[in-house]
């Protein structure tokens, strides 16, 4: 079976963590760290380095697959080798493992050490700031404010990393991050006693990316400034906005705080609170609908989950709405210019296309997955491939394409009939032809 794996899509975060930590134990990386650590570390006896490497590999081998076990293994290793020339790499790995384990104490312990050297780690900046703000401590709030401000600056300077990321997805990710940065700064400023600044930043957070967290932050500082009547409305927003990042416990806390403030203002009664909640629901639905419409204007695939509702962009900029192909059997061929097996498969794929060229109810779509689109047209021209090519525009993620080439067969009802990950060269033409005939016969 021939195929190329796309690691950025298929690698699970935990497996990526395991891979990263195991790489630390490799001789090549060990030498690289020694070079970076200075002359004293480079001169460490080879026997001592080999002994540490062997101990690290042994500890990781026994750690299992849990981040907690990896943390225990790495901390034990550093206790045994306190002068390790790999300390920086190991502490970086410990910070990542702490993120996976949601361990605030270690996120602070190792995260701040990493950020002192690597100031552009987005996730660490956000999580370290959040961990520092878990208690109302002014010295910690001052540190958190600096991290949150750095997080904001990095996000605002960031460019879209790939053409494969649609404009709407990129805009949403960016605005969500900036909104979080404002929210963290609001909490820090409020903890430092700057409630007016906190309220301004909380409102900026909601305006940038309206969600339950930002609404809650506005409510918090309205209440702290004695504006409980307005705070009730914002807690109602927090309670009614759908937010997959919020668990039931957080929603229950919003409801409790909402009820507490309302009763305080209405002589211990919750009469009329239902109307407040319904009004908040109507307003937040309107806000979220308007936002969604804005994203849809940027990208017709914004929030689309059904693969057959996607719109793909052609090589010449033309658009194809997959919904127009319902009632046909559709074969989607996912490939990339850098994929060697894709080049081997292409003439075989063309043989299948030739077999069904007189069957209008069968549609073949060549779907490119390259990070950069600039190289695709020259590649097509040079290799004399069919120019009827479309870019995946997020469809690959919706179909969970983790390796290429992959062929996905959609039946006449718009459902996935079959999926072929990779291919067997000597059997591909017959296998794909048979599956198309099966789909046609349904």
Long-range contacts of 50-53 (CB under 8 A, 24+ apart): 52/77, 52/81, 52/84, 52/86, 53/25, 53/27
How far is 218 from 179, CA to CA, in rounded Å? 12
Q: Would you say 3 and 423 are in contact if contact means Cβ atoms under 8 Å apart?
A: yes
How far is 60 from 70, CA to CA, in rounded Å? 7
Look-up of token digits 């949403």 = 172
Token pair of 434 as six digits: 């048979």
- Sorted by sequence, the CB contacts under 8 Å of residue 278 that are 6+ apart come out as none
- Sorted by sequence, the CB contacts under 8 Å of residue 12 that are 6+ apart come out as none
List the one residue out of 303, 168, 322 whose CA is nearest residue 242: 303
Q: Quick check: is 4 catalytic?
A: no
Alpha helices, DSSP H only, in 209-306? 212-224, 228-240, 248-265, 273-298
Q: Which of 339, 401, 429, 439 is catalytic?
A: 339
According to DSSP, the residues that pair with 420 across neighbouring strands are 407
Q: Which of 97, 332, 342, 404 is catalytic?
A: 342
List the one residue out of 113, 103, 112 whose CA is nearest residue 134: 103
Q: Quick check: is 339 catalytic?
A: yes
How far is 428 from 410, CA to CA, in rounded Å? 18
- Longest CA span, the chain: 81
- Sorted by sequence, the CB contacts under 8 Å of residue 293 that are 6+ apart come out as none
How far is 402 from 396, CA to CA, in rounded Å? 8
List the one residue out of 124, 129, 157, 131 whose CA is nearest residue 145: 129
How far does the chain reach from its first CA to its final CA, in angstroms?
28
Give the residue numbers marked as catalytic: 339, 342
């Amino acid at each position: 079976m021939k195929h190329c794996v796309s690691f950025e899509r298929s690698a699970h975060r935990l497996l990526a963590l395991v891979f990263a930590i195991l790489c630390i134990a490799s001789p090549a990386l060990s030498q690289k760290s020694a070079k970076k650590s200075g002359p004293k570390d480079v001169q460490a006896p080879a026997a001592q380095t080999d002994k540490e490497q062997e101990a690290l590999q042994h500890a990781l081998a026994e750690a299992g697959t849990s981040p907690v076990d990896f943390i225990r293994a790495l901390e034990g290793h550093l206790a045994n080798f306190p002068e390790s020339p790999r300390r920086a790499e190991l502490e970086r790995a410990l910070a990542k493992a702490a993120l996976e384990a949601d361990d605030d104490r270690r996120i602070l312990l190792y995260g701040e050490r990493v950020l002192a050297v690597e100031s552009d780690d987005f996730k660490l900046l956000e999580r370290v700031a959040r961990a520092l703000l878990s208690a109302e401590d002014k010295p910690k709030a001052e540190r958190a404010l600096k991290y949150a401000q750095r997080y904001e600056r990095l996000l605002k300077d960031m460019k879209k990393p790939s053409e494969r990321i649609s404009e709407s997805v990129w805009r949403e990710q960016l605005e969500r991050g900036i909104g979080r940065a404002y929210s963290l700064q609001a909490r820090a400023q409020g903890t430092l006693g700057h409630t007016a600044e906190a309220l301004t930043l909380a409102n900026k957070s909601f305006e940038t990316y309206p969600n339950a967290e930002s609404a809650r932050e506005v409510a918090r500082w309205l209440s702290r400034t004695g504006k409980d009547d307005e705070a009730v409305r914002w807690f109602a927003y927090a309670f009614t906005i759908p937010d997959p990042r919020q668990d039931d416990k957080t929603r229950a806390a919003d409801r409790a705080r909402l009820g507490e403030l309302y009763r305080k203002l209405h002589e211990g009664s919750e009469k009329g609170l239902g109307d407040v909640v319904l009004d908040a629901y109507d307003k937040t639905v309107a806000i979220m609908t308007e936002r969604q419409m804005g994203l849809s204007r940027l990208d017709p695939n914004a929030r689309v989950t059904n693969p057959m509702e996607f719109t793909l962009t052609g090589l010449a900029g033309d658009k194809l709405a997959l919904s127009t192909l319902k009632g046909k059997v559709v074969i989607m061929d996912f490939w990339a210019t850098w994929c060697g097996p894709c080049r081997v498969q292409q003439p075989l794929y063309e043989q299948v296309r030739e077999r069904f060229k007189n069957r209008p109810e069968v549609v073949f779509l060549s779907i490119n997955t390259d990070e950069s689109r600039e190289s695709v047209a020259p590649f097509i021209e040079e290799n004399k491939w069919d120019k009827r090519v479309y870019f995946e525009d997020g469809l690959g993620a919706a179909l969970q394409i983790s390796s290429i080439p992959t062929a996905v067969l959609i039946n006449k009802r718009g459902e996935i009939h079959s999926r072929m990950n990779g291919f067997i060269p000597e059997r591909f033409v017959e296998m794909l032809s048979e599956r198309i005939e099966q789909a046609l016969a349904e």
